[in-house]
Amino acid sequence: MSSLHIEDVGKSFDDLEVLRDLRLSVEPGEFAAVIGPSGSGKSTLFNLVSGLDRPTSGRVLVEGEPASVASGKVAYMPQKDLLFPWRTVLDNTALGLEAQGVRKKEARARADALFADFGLDGFQQAYPSQLSGGMRQRAALLRTVVLERPVLLLDEPFGALDSLTRTEMQLWLAGMWQRHRWTVVLVTHDIREAVLLADTVHVLSRRPATVVRRVEVPLARPRGADDFTAPGFTATEQIVLEALRGPTAVRTP
Ligand SMILES: Nc1ncnc2c1ncn2[C@@H]1O[C@H](COP(=O)(O)OP(=O)(O)OP(=O)(O)O)[C@@H](O)[C@H]1O
């Protein structure tokens, strides 16, 4: 059974058709990336997968069941880290578990157990303002991962970081995925990021968005900094770029 199965999904807001006949499947342990032009509907798609909104047509199935917030199958990391400035980093990372009804002590213990792996050891009692941009994003990811849900949605997690920090974070995430094998759907505007991290890159058209190309990334795992200059990397970037720019990607409303 697919972890995520999006079947002929359409979504409109009044007269605005945002998604049309969108199909996409993600298998357990797969890292999928979704890339598309600005405003093509990537956040709308995530809202459907996390059950915050419903499709106008078609179906969104998470582990075979219609997507719903109540099913607790999807963990969503939004673009902004949304860490509360008045809570310590540990309390911030335990927040999702607490909201799920886990007792505070246990929630903190479960989050704390991941701090070293996320490069945050020693910062449990710090406040978010004391962290660098990259550390804040790692804390936000920790808060998402600790929920141990079957599907992780990452919405441009590194979009706000400077280019060097972003590259470091991408390499770090590649290493983390290698160890944990989460099922991930990453939304990004960054072709390089999609190719480095994903098994499959789904390229969206302009609105109404549909998947115009599904690109399998031919690079072996584990991946690292050397992959950025590998011939297969550049060739895949080119294929994704052409799909983004190609004639079928430009639709008139
Ligand atoms: N609740 C809503 N009501 C009306 N229109 C909406 C709603 N949510 C999104 N839209 C519209 O749908 C379109 C797609 O928005 P969405 O945020 O999904 O795009 P996106 O691809 O995530 O954008 P970006 O790449 O800029 O982050 C936009 O034109 C937006 O104005």
The alpha carbon of 75 and the centre of ligand 1 are apart by a number of angstroms equal to: 20
Element holding 137 (H helix, E strand): helix 133-145
The residue whose CB lies within 8 Å of the most ligand 1 atoms, and thus the one to mutate among 13, 20, 189, is 13
| Distance between Cα 207 and ligand 1 center (Å) | 10
Q: Which atom of ligand 1 is nearest to the CA of 187?
A: 22
Per-residue pLDDT, averaged over 201-229, amounts to 96
What is the pLDDT at residue 249? 44
Q: Which amino acid is at 210?
A: T
Determine the distance separating the centroid of ligand 1 and the alpha carbon of 76, expressed in angstroms.
17
**Region 1-17 average pLDDT:** 96
What is the H or E stretch that residue 49 is in? helix 42-49
The arrangement of secondary structure in 1-73+152-253, i.e. its CATH architecture, is 3-Layer(aba) Sandwich (3.40)
| Domain residue spans of the chain | 1-73+152-253, 83-148
Q: Mark 8-24 as b/e (b = at least 16 C-beta within 10 Å).
A: ebbbeeeeebbbbebeb
Residue nearest to atom 7 of ligand 1 (CA): 13
Instruction: Find the residues whose C-beta lies inside 6 A of ligand 1.
Output: 13, 16, 18, 38-44
What three-state secondary structure class fits 26? strand
pLDDT of 149-199, one tens digit each? 999 999 999 988 889 999 999 999 999 999 999 999 999 999 999 999 999
Assess whether the previous peptide bond of 247 is cis (omega < 30° from 0): no
Say what the pLDDT of residue 247 is.
Answer: 67
